[in-house]
């Protein structure tokens, strides 16, 4: 099964070939998928070739042969006919001292649609131990529903001073915002409201054994 991004590129190549009678360049593929660098396109093209969907023709520029096509995913919604949704892994999030989130839109995890309610989701890799008493450990992955507000007591992705992201339980106290860890070795930190932006609310946890 292809990821959402793999199938999106495959569809882009097919549509481009039909319209222009030539394979798109890597720059055009990058722009078509709205990626920041060609390295992500190289990885997706290699994955498509490994899975037998395309074949790169040696010694020929812009030469990709389509071996097989699939029509499972609605590229506008990210959903497919098997009720699977591809959720992007956007990078890492600190469950400890705040660290900068790293954006990477080329990796996805597929989850059943029944697991998720309406909304837009993303996944982050957890680093640190400040949320271990809430059952969130270093190396876990958290599924986050995008939101710019949250209820008191919810675990959120909070952006601090526009450049550092952390995973903490949030409490609003008048004009102040408290980010509370779930580890007795860490202290709750209180911020002014202009320093905190909520990026999303924790909805699910993924752990590998």
**Enzyme catalytic residues:** 130, 168
**Block residue for tokens 């924790």:** 202
**Helical H runs in the chain?**
4-20, 26-32, 38-50
User: Which positions ≥6 away from 178 have C-beta within 8 Å?
Assistant: 170, 171, 172, 188, 189, 190, 191
* Residue 142 · residue 123 · CB < 8 Å: yes
* Residue 159 · residue 199 · CB < 8 Å: yes
CA 9/CA 62 separation, integer angstroms: 15
Classify 17 as helix, strand or coil: helix
CA 200/CA 86 separation, integer angstroms: 18
Terminal alpha carbon distance of the chain = 23
Beta strand 176-180 pairing with 164-173:
antiparallel
């Amino acid at each position: 099964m292809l990821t959402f991004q793999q199938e999106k590129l495959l569809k882009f190549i097919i549509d481009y070939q039909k319209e222009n009678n030539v394979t798109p360049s890597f720059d055009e593929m990058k722009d078509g998928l709205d990626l920041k660098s060609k390295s992500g396109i190289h990885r997706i093209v290699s994955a498509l070739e490994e899975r037998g969907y395309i074949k790169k023709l040696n010694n020929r520029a812009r030469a990709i042969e389509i071996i097989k096509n699939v029509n499972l995913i609605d590229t506008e919604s990210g959903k497919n006919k098997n009720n699977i949704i591809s959720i992007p892994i956007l990078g890492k999030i600190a469950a400890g001292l705040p660290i900068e989130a790293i954006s990477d839109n080329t990796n996805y995890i597929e989850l059943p649609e029944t697991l998720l309610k309406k909304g837009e989701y993303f996944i982050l890799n957890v680093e640190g131990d400040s949320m271990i008493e809430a059952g969130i450990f270093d190396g876990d992955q958290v599924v986050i529903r995008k939101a710019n507000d949250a209820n008191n007591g919810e675990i959120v992705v909070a952006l601090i001073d526009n450049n550092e992201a952390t995973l903490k339980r949030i409490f609003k106290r008048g004009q102040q915002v408290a980010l509370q860890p779930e580890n007795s070795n860490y202290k709750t930190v209180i911020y002014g409201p202009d320093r905190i932006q909520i990026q999303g609310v924790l909805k699910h946890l993924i752990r590998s054994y």
